[in-house]
Copies of this chain bind each other. A is one copy, B any other.
Amino acid sequence: MAKYPHILTGIRLYGNPDESGRIRRTDRIPDTIPGISRFQQVVLHQGRIERFFLDSLNKYSNIEVERGVLPAELDIDPSKSEDYDAYPITVKLQHLGDDEATPFQHSTNVPDGLFRSSLAKDDTDDLIRKSKGKEGTTETVRAKYMIGCDGAHSWTRRQLGFHMEGEQTDFIWGVLDIVPITNFPDVRMRCAIHSAESGSVMVIPRENKLVRLYIQLTEVSSAGQQVDRSTITPEIILKAAQKIMSPYKLSYDYCDWWTAYQIGQRVGNKFSCDDRVFLAGDAVHTHSPKAGQGMNVSMQDAYNLGWKIGLVVNGIAKRSILKTYQSERRRVAQDLIAFDYRFSRLFSGRPAKDAADEAGISMSEFKDAFEKGNMFASGLAVDYGASVLVAKAGDSADEGDGTDVGPQTNGHTNGIGKAVGKQELASNIKMGMRFPSFQVLNQADARPWQFAEFLKSDGRFRVILFAGNLKNTQQFERVQAFGEQLAKPDSFIHRHTPPTKRIDSIIEIFMIHSAPRREVEFLDLHEIYHPFDEKEGWDYNKVFVDDLSYHEGHGEAYKNYGVDKERGCVVIARPDQYVGWIGELEDVRHMDRYFSEILLPQA
């Protein structure tokens, strides 16, 4: 079991103490509500995720991660911000000495759990001051774009003069990562334990024999002040847990890590300066760690931003798409904070003694929040509003964070005011939400695939043609005619693809048809659906079918996607798998309008 992350299965709720005040099981729910995703929740150490990223950077790029470097000065020239070739950003960097870069934490074998926790003071300025004046330790970088992922105390945010909106609560929580020695019966299940008077504990089993405990420290209070750090130790945290979990015993021999934190729920007022300097992660949203959203939402910030900057820097996309970063991600952060506010209150409150006890929290409301929060925590509830990238009918300012990110109506509009997709053609592929994944078979080799595996995050847009029933002659002709349109020398695909590149390098076409796989011959389809290469022959990985697999059952993709099996439809997916537009096979002019707004014409 050693190398596996721990998959969580169920949640036990403990509360409604009996007359003697002892906790007891009040309810059980699945940890991941069935049906949300083909994946389940796992507990994966944040350091391990970072390791994956570092390994991948190393393997697939020549990007080098520098440590022990701090920014000292930032200048932005706003007059150059709309010039595609300009470098409007100047940053001065300080290189720290080895001693400064690996600061002293603690003298015991367990590191200081409060090092850079939310209870610790920001030490960035101290570090910069100390490292100043060293000869040969500064560097000036000129950049087109800059992203500040520099945490809750974000130096970048302060330079920009942006601020965080929201509040700090008085709840203090401790965290222990231990191999527990206990007779508590559900220690290998995720548990939410509400004691009568001593606060709450959340139990989260981890890989190997480790268990993470979130423990409310009712006897430590900030009362609006900075907490006295010296009063918080692993021993104090363990004692609090023992009191809450009584009469069960709890101790440990091995502690892997510990910390303590204070819950604050805040969102940055702006996420970007001139669409040149961006903020992401804790730099623009802080909240409790309970729902596991800190790392997840922050990675999704960067995931949303990465392909946009990438396409702009490479001269493929227009700068106007960058505005959607704030409109999409600030709205998500606002929703997250609202959720976290409610969830944290339910967690830190004491259970109600009875229905009349209004100061206590109701256990059934708590269970309900857990279940509803599941969808939110899965990341799949994200629904981006109307914008140049999402062809919804609505108002882009209303549906986002207030920023106007709608399409221009002047210029190359193709006679269409604004591309608006036809949601009714694919009832379960929601514009603004992630393209869902179901099993389809490769037409050429009958292998079953989760279709999402082909929507790689490599910066390409995808046109997904639900080709319907190819055995119907009329439908087959519609599909071939659609192919003809895309293959034309002046089609939006040719217009936006640099002539030296392969035809699928900016916009990739996939087909999913619904005829029986054995009755369709791959090579009968228009060549645009399986481009030919002189050295590699036909491309066999673009055409799929919704049919029964030899071993993996029927994916029922058309049914699950909510698409008509006879007539099909066309979907545009953004490089991040979010759905941009839906239409008929005859709506090529609307697709043209959609892409014209986003992409630059190539010579």
Contacts and interface: CB of A to CB of B under 8 A. Distances in A.
Interface of A: 1, 7, 9-10, 28, 30-32, 34, 40, 179-183, 185, 187-189, 205, 209, 253-254, 442, 444-448, 518, 521-523, 534-537, 540-541, 549-551
Nearest to A533: B181
A543 to B, nearest CB: 11
B185 A536 contact: no
Contacts of A9: 445-448, 549-551
- Main secondary structure, interface of A, reads loop
Given A179-B536, A535-B254, A445 B188 contact: yes
Given A9-B447, A209-B537, A445-B205, A185 B523 contact: yes
Contacts of A445: 9, 188-189, 205
Nearest to A522: B185
Contacts of A534: 181, 253
A541 B205 CA distance: 13
A209 B532 CA distance: 13
A518 B442 contact: no
B446 A535 contact: no
A188 B537 contact: no
A446 B189 contact: yes
Contact of A30 (B32, B254, B523, B550): B550
Nearest to A456: B1
A209 B536 contact: yes
Contact of A188 (B185, B448, B540): B540
Given A537-B179, A537-B181, A447 B7 contact: yes
A208 to B, nearest CB: 9
A179 B253 CA distance: 58
Contacts of A444: 187-189
A523 B305 CA distance: 50
24 contacts: A9-B445, A9-B448, A9-B549, A9-B551, A10-B446, A10-B550, A28-B518, A30-B550, A31-B550, A34-B550, A179-B535, A181-B536, A181-B537, A188-B442, A188-B444, A188-B540, A189-B444, A189-B445, A189-B446, A205-B445, A209-B536, A209-B537, A253-B535, A253-B536
9 pairs of A and B residues whose beta carbons are closest in the complex:
A188-B445, A9-B446, A181-B537, A188-B444, A30-B550, A253-B535, A188-B540, A9-B550, A10-B446
A34 B548 CA distance: 13
A60 to B, nearest CB: 11
Nearest to A541: B1
